[in-house]
Amino acid sequence: MIANREQAERLREEQGDGDHYRPLASMFRADPRRSGDEVLDALLAIAKPSDTWIDVGAGAGRFSLPLALQVESVVAIEPSGAMRAEFANLQIEHGITNVDLRDDRWPSDDPAVTDIGDVALISHVAYDIEPIGGFLDTLERSARRECVAILFDHAPSTMFWQAWPAVHGEDLVQLPGGNEFVALLEARGASVDASAIPPPGDRRRFVFDTVEDAVEWARRRLWLAENSVRLPALRDAVTALLIEQDGGWTLPDQPNQMMIRWRTS
């Protein structure tokens, strides 16, 4: 994790405003009443009507809001102001009132966070958290029944890893993914149940409408500025990787999504 952060800091071409998700937050909106989402279906299958769920890193409410329609209450922790704004707008649009949306980071400094939920959820959080022990300690104390993580087996930052040498002249220092997370939990003595959540059929999870959409996604992954002199090299590298699918463009090498459930004594 440290080596990945140091690489990103060294190669980053532009500094943000402190909220990495500001230009991306609208992409994380999702209909709370949607169907056909295999990850949401897996979460709803273990939710109980009397539950309180804690969603740490809740984003724009992709899972918090539909869960709130099925459980007693949800506590949503989200430090990004842009994400909270999208979350709050969706909450109002759909009339969902049993969510406590908090501007907080994790581990929370609020002592009242301990033992407030039945289930603690993280979704695509933990890949780059360096003080992971304290993060997990607080997460486990906050959940009476179990903790749940939705993670890719390989960190999503590994997408477009093949383009790194052509653009930066060096390989990507990869972050740990879901497989390493399971190993960590087991080393901590947790009882772990991990299962794959494949997309339906032969559909790949990441499909871009245009080549330029894929290049823009890769640009952010490789920390390039919008006017970077490296964009032509990036475009060439990304174009060579893409394959057509369903009228769009996708990657042959993609991470697979996992549901990881664990309990501690």
Q: How far is CA 265 from the centre of its chain?
A: 27
Q: Enumerate the domain spans of the chain.
A: 2-204+254-263
Of 264, 220, 215, 261, the C-alpha closest to 242 is 215
Give residue 156's pLDDT.
83
The DSSP string of 217-262 is HHHHHTT--TT-TTHHHHHHHHHHH-EEETTEEE-SS---EEEEEE
pTM: 0.88
User: Which CATH topology does 2-204+254-263 take?
Assistant: Rossmann fold (3.40.50)
What residue type is assigned to position 123 of the chain? S
pLDDT tens sequence for the chain (265 residues): 889 999 999 999 977 655 454 455 556 678 999 998 999 999 999 999 999 999 999 999 999 999 999 999 999 999 888 899 999 999 999 999 999 999 988 887 776 677 789 999 999 998 989 889 999 999 999 999 999 999 999 988 888 999 999 999 999 999 999 999 999 999 999 999 999 998 765 555 678 999 999 999 899 889 999 999 999 999 999 999 999 987 899 988 788 899 999 986 6
Which residue bears the tokens 């549901």? Answer: 259
- Residues composing the chain: 265
How much is the pLDDT for 167?
97
Residue type, 169: G
From CA 249, how far away is CA 235, in angstroms rounded? Answer: 14
Instruction: Please name which of 94, 97, 107, 101 lies closest in space to residue 78, comparing C-alpha atoms.
Output: 101
User: What are the E-state strand segments in the chain?
Assistant: 52-56, 73-77, 99-102, 117-123, 143-152, 191-196, 207-208, 243-245, 248-250, 257-263
